[in-house]
Amino acid sequence: MTPLVDPFGRAITYLRVSVTDRCDLRCVYCMSERMRFLPRPELLSIEELDRLCAAFVARGVRRLRFTGGEPLVRRGFIDLLKGVGRRLGRGLDEITVTTNGVQLAEFAEDLFRAGVRRVNVSVDSLDRETFKRIARRDRLPQVLEGIDAAERAGLKIKINTVALKHDNAHELPDLVRWAHGRGFDITFIETMPLGEIDEDRTDQFLSLTSVREDMASYWRLTDLPDRTGGPARYVRVEETGGRLGFITPMTHNFCEGCSRVRLTCTGKLYLCLGHEAAMDLREPLRASADDALLHETIDAAILLRPKGHDFQIERMSKPATARHMSVTGG
């Protein structure tokens, strides 16, 4: 089968799959308190998700990341991982999961048994009150228990933290110390204008350029060449010995080497996180048990891939795209 290469010569080797738009938290930058979730029949079934993943692996995708919404709230998620996990070493190099950690204590061992070796856990604050304000749910203790369980199960952990001007800016150095002290990489993320929320995002936007300058004023930061085919850039914090990443879609362009496409929980393939270019794969998938039409549609979709994303800080108060990160997958 021919590998997927977009019109700008970039090979598609990474697929991010959102398995649900539902979540057990309501982070202020991500969704509204009264978020309206998709009706269940709209979602791809576990079997359909498995078939789509297999089709992409057959076309050269080597890494799969499962996300959401919160992937651990999706019924059948572990079965999906077990199915997909059988392709590890047969075209597929890695399966990873991005989770808020709330239910990780229950599922960590299952994840490991299914072939997952690395998880990204989102932690925006280590202070219970601040966590509760950001996530609108009092779940920090569960998340920390989940992280302990993941470590015991043998999973490598990376922490994701969205940098927020008012809520956690002052806490970022402590988060780095904590993560590095436990042997975890940590990545800061700038808020992105995706989907309607209850607040104005401009108000919480914190440029990571200034965060980095701040960190560099009391730590020695050494640029690392590490690239993951995505928007993160890494430095080594010499004093802690740990790795710190910055995901800065608003202030830096990361599109040139981008190898990623994203599949929503309804089967829409988005060719870029910050762009509307997309193609529905659910219809061709449901139209026939044979994958020919599906592969034709994937080929047509890849031709739509834009050169780069379309975020602008001046337009931050209005979402660049109407869809939430929880639908497309972060």
Residues that bind ligand SF4 (CB under 6 A): 23, 25-27, 30-31, 68-70, 100, 122, 326
- Confirm or reject binding of residue 29 to ligand SAM (CB under 6 A): yes
**Which C-beta is closer to ligand SAM: that of 232 or that of 325?**
325
CA distances from 111 to 81, 129, 256 (A): 8, 30, 32
Least spacing, CB of residue 98 vs ligand SF4, in Å: 8
Residue 77 binds: one of ligand SF4, ligand SAM, none (C-beta under 5 to 8 A by kind): none
- Confirm or reject binding of residue 191 to ligand SAM (CB under 6 A): yes
**Which C-beta is closer to ligand SF4: that of 68 or that of 267?**
68
Least spacing, CB of residue 300 vs ligand SF4, in Å: 30
Among 99, 125, 248, 264, binds ligand SAM (CB under 6 A): 99
Residue 168 binds: one of ligand SAM, ligand SF4, none (C-beta under 5 to 8 A by kind): none
Residue 189 binds: one of ligand SAM, ligand SF4, none (C-beta under 5 to 8 A by kind): ligand SAM
Q: Which residues, numbered 145-164, are part of the site for ligand SAM (CB under 6 A)?
A: 160, 162
Least spacing, CB of residue 286 vs ligand SAM, in Å: 26
- Confirm or reject binding of residue 70 to ligand SAM (CB under 6 A): yes
- Confirm or reject binding of residue 30 to ligand SAM (CB under 6 A): yes
- Confirm or reject binding of residue 208 to ligand SAM (CB under 6 A): no
The 3 state secondary structure assigned to the chain is: CCCCECCCCCECCEEEEECCCCCCCCCCCCCCCCCCCCCHHHCCCHHHHHHHHHHHHHCCCCEEEEECCCHHHCCCHHHHHHHHHCCECCCECEEEEEECCCCHHHHHHHHHHCCCCEEEEECCCCCHHHHHHHHCCCCHHHHHHHHHHHHHHCCEEEEEEECECCCCHHHHHHHHHHHHHCCCEEEEECCCCECCCCCCHHHCECCHHHHHHHHHHHCCEEECCCCCCCCEEEEEECCCCCEEEEECCCCCCCHHHCCEEEECCCCEEECCCCCCCEEECHHHHHHCCCCHHHHHHHHHHHCCCCCCCCCCHHHCCCCCECCCHHHHCC
Q: Which stretch, 190-198, 259-267, 271-279, 301-309, contacts ligand SAM (CB under 6 A)?
A: 190-198
**Which C-beta is closer to ligand SF4: that of 15 or that of 25?**
25
Structure-token pair, residue 238: 């010499």
- Confirm or reject binding of residue 184 to ligand SAM (CB under 6 A): no
- Confirm or reject binding of residue 189 to ligand SAM (CB under 6 A): yes
- Rounded Cα gap, residues 257 and 190, in angstroms: 19
Least spacing, CB of residue 289 vs ligand SAM, in Å: 31
- Confirm or reject binding of residue 194 to ligand SAM (CB under 6 A): yes
Cα 304 from chain centroid (whole Å)? 22
CA atoms within 13 A on the CB side of 40: 4
Q: Which stretch, 22-30, 147-155, 173-181, 226-234, contacts ligand SAM (CB under 6 A)?
A: 22-30
* Residues at the interface with ligand SAM (CB under 6 A): 23, 29-30, 67-68, 70, 98-100, 122, 160, 162, 189, 191-192, 194, 325-326, 330
